[in-house]
Structure 1
């Protein structure tokens, strides 16, 4: 069963009168619809068929998914979704927007952006559509005792296993909006104390963030994080003003854990979708001592890990 199966109807004004035809709407509404259309296309084109269990086929020329595939995944009428990407002047229900958000695997910030552009109220504003599948979450746990995390290019922490959740601080105790590696590296005392090369890590993250942000300069979530960090951290203000973009960095990281001691770990990243989409980052021990300490950390009771 698809949502809104009938063709979209033109928008109506007060009292049911027909609204101005498409192309004569107020300029701000037209700009918002155009931005919504571009945003939907960009999210659709970043998802591969394989990510959602669809065959690629020999004749695929569309980057990412086709429009009809998004409509099918979201159980939404193809016409409705097509008209959204064409910036048509139509009214779309929150239920349809929710279905589109799930089909496009939007994260929390992207979902909020979608509803804002559509001029609709999100019925479930706390809902997360990160695209972290059940299979990927199972893989995270199977990597234990090696720390593993799924991040997006904004350094939001989307999912993690219990070892990573205890490596730098107690992630479970943090509110969702603070689970961002940039925010934690610049503001969280325990996270900062655990980093063996804090200054180098901050510079590398800021440089990678700036490089990634080139494709997201107009997106509210990116601008909001920069503003939040600028207000909270003098170190961030200084580094950000230097406009550095990606520096070479060693894959071997040193962590100092308050209970198990120092750990030398090699970082490996695997993209779960088209670069720069979400990535799986995991750490493997450089030596036997680090391996033993990882096993000790993973085996700690939850109550002790939170101390």
Structure 2
């Protein structure tokens, strides 16, 4: 359920890792009615080790989302730093994040992923709520074409860095269910926000869950797609227009109402315009990158763009002046 008693539109943000962190860091300035939905397929680093040893959901991306929503006061910022702290040792604790261990401990004690995350949220006085996409750990598998040959790559950490063109991705187990509270949040939402983030390992997995697609189709919520500032290995051959076409394909025909993009990141603006118009969407061009850091979102610039989108203060195509 989306938080009650807070001001602003009811927003559900989907993603994982640093991309969702950027979205939440901006959205917290726009609304207090905020729910983050996080992928649960991470199998690398501290999260992967805890997942393998304890049989739990990978906690890392959930930890990142909680950190992004910490209260701005001294208490919240202290706990944000505690959550993000990583140990550097010559022993088994090396590279484990404190927040991952805290979340894993609460899950062990409470035997309920959502209750454990809610406890951490209260401790950190977060602005919003964080939910796992599913209460079951999942795996990502991709068909990747490299030098004319198709190979099957399994595991989020491997898919994210595998060279070649991603042809298709799959989720395992196929029987995994979406967290019921995620579906409730979608039903109540005014807006559902996808991106930015690793396309095939953080954004697309949400759309591959039939229950999510069905929920989006039934909800009154409008869809906003925030495009990446740079391409990563997963999408090295994709244009911004390709991202929109891919979104509609994986969503089963559900189209974004608004697409947010930074003009400095677009190599083919005409192609992006065509893709947006062909799907009946609106394009909002805004400088959302940090000054001097074109690959990093600025929370306040991004927040201003999202506020414009939510308030309907854009025309069919809104373009900024040339970016700094």
**Greater gyration radius:** 1
- Whichever structure has more helix as a proportion of its residues is 1
TM-score (norm 1): 0.30
The structure that is strand-richer by fraction is 2
Higher relative contact order (CA 8 A, sep 6+): 2
